[in-house]
Chains A and B, each alone.
Chain A
Amino acid sequence: MIRIFTIISLLFLFSNGYSQVSFEQNAIDLGIEDSFGTHILGGGGIVFYDFNNDGWDDISMATSEGDSINFYINEEGTFVKIVPSLVNNTAQVKNILWGDYDNDGDADLFVTGYQTGNNLYENQGDLTFIDVTVDAGITNDTMGFQGAAWGDINNDGYLDLYITTNDNATFETNFLYTNNGDGTFSDITVSAGVTDSIKAPFGLVFSDIDSDGDQDMYLSIDHHLANSVFVNNGDETFLDDTENCGGGFEMFSMCIAAGDYDNDGNEDFYFSNMTPEGSKLAKGNGSGNFAEMSEEAGVNWLGNGWGAAWLDADLDGDLDLYACGCNNILDGYESSVFYKNDGDATFTSLPLCGFENDTVRSYSVAIGDIDNDGYPDIVVNNEEGYTLSIWQNTSVNTNHYLKVQLQGITNNSDGIGSWVEVYTNGDMQRHYTHSANGYLSQNSQYEIFGLGANETADSVKVIWLNGLVDIAYNVEADQKITFIEGMGATGIENNVLHSFNLYPNPGRSYINVELSTSFPNIQKVDIYSIEGKLIKSKER
């Protein structure tokens, strides 16, 4: 009888296409029992980023005033809190953001503080930090600082920084800093045209919305004001295209989550909404224009929404969506929701994948991989009194994955602002690399691609922010590969179609360039120094 019941259960399980996605909240079992303290205006941020670069995604958790920032090292699948904290900061922390602003190969730390100023910490290479905020020229005034993102707006290979302010009803300027490459920054907010001071933004993402090779900005805006779209003019100025681009939705937007949900090669953007009218989905067309698709796609989540993130939870080759908020279930709204991508640009809300018993009021969300099994996991920073949530992906299927890490040389060392394209059986998935993504959140630097049943990717292509291209062919699934700019992927035997060799190397008086038979026609050959300076250029 038991066997018959088991068979029937299994038949039901595998006949139900949605049953393969499941999550369990395992924070305490994984070693984290901390909670955010008394929150002011929207809780604090969360980061799922491998800050010690050991290949395991660590967690950084914002805390309220009086508490130190919590950092947790991932020790092969469980977390150990770093005590004392990596930095001496007991402010009301909003956004924690990792990024190698000085291109020295280690992760530096930027922290926004609500009415307590900002802090830029330079990593000394051993996870000890020096507060360089003042010397770097970054504002640490007492303003309502909220979100921040690293990007490279002038393609000079150094990370620039945008910081938002939102002090509820008091509108203030935001800040754009360009990185001078010598440890200092210049405030170009006004000359760049991005003060946006009559708005109340929370988060932002840098993205190339018009496919012209530079980084534009898209901001989530509170108080029923239009989400801002700034198009990079390529000369350290921006065009405010909010009114004309079709994406300036007027809403109480808390987060902006970027990802290509329909696999058309263009980034799309999900906006949570604090008011019950529902969230919005801006479908990008790659030319800088957007169409609102939340109802058509089926992700018009109702209630008090805050954090959200895209992830391919079942590794089937398309991005699913997790969203959470500060709903009271007695009001008839869900605490969180998981939308399964049906593969045709529409989604189905899964009622029974682990979140059905979630009653926690939540703010920020980040994506990483706790145990390096390739299945993306979710970490959530919640309202005061609630322990951090770690939603461990317990999905069971036979799908495969590929993780991709970038290391820039003439581009910023994090490879932020690159496109990573994975091709399988004629299909392409395309991820744009971000620092910040979501509500006060940062995801793992390891891009996770679901490959479905494919045991290899036909090719993996990286288009770096400055236009350089690296390609690896016939890449086996279920591993992490690292692309080093100009050198392809490490650890891969590249069956490169368009390859070339340089010899002798080192060169003394000349260098020979030998091309593969299929190499396309050459327009130009450039030689750059390791510092990014053009040394020679030869037209062909």
Chain B
Amino acid sequence: MNDRFSIDINDVSNGLYLLNIITQEGMYSKMFSVQH
């Protein structure tokens, strides 16, 4: 692992979400949940 960044989710309500990373090679995805 050599790169890291953060995304603010303070304004995202509780629940299940899908994060998509779009690159020139395609799209990569993972599920995550928010629980304030």
Contact = CB atoms under 8 A, between A and B. Distances in A.
A111 B21 CA distance: 40
A510 B18 contact: no
Given A487-B31, A522-B23, A530 B4 contact: no
A500 interface: yes
Contact of A506 (B7, B19, B35): B35
A516 B8 CA distance: 21
B33 A514 contact: no
B34 A507 contact: yes
A524 interface: yes
A470 B35 CA distance: 26
A469 to B, nearest CB: 4
Contacts of B20: 468, 486, 525-528
A501 B5 CA distance: 11
Given A509-B10, A520-B24, A530-B17, A468 B3 contact: no
A470 B7 CA distance: 22
Contacts of A469: 26-29
A515 B29 contact: no
Decide if the interface of chain A is mainly helix, strand, loop or mixed.
strand
Decide if the interface of chain B is mainly helix, strand, loop or mixed.
strand
Contacts of A524: 21-22
A511 B7 contact: yes
A87 B25 CA distance: 46
Contacts of B18: 409-410, 485-486, 527-530
A464 to B, nearest CB: 8
A14 interface: no
A500 B7 contact: no
Interface centre among B9, B16, B23, B29 (most CB of A within 10 A): B29
A517 interface: yes
Given A513-B7, A525-B7, A485 B29 contact: yes
Contact of A502 (B26, B30, B36): B30
A521 interface: yes
Interface residues of A, number: 43
A521 B24 contact: yes
Interface string A517-540: 101111111111110000110101
A530 B30 CA distance: 12
A463 interface: yes
Nearest to A517: B2
A508 interface: yes
A510 B29 CA distance: 17
Nearest to A532: B18
A487 B30 CA distance: 6
Contacts of A505: 32-33
A525 B32 contact: no
A349 B22 CA distance: 46
B7 A536 contact: yes
A425 interface: no
Contact of A510 (B1, B7, B23): B7
Nearest to B3: A515
A467 interface: yes
23 contacts: A468-B20, A469-B27, A486-B20, A486-B29, A501-B1, A505-B32, A505-B33, A512-B4, A514-B1, A514-B4, A515-B1, A517-B1, A520-B24, A520-B25, A525-B19, A525-B20, A527-B18, A527-B19, A528-B17, A529-B16, A530-B16, A535-B12, A536-B7
List of 5 A-B pairs having minimum Cβ-Cβ separation, nearest first: A486-B29, A469-B26, A506-B35, A520-B23, A506-B33
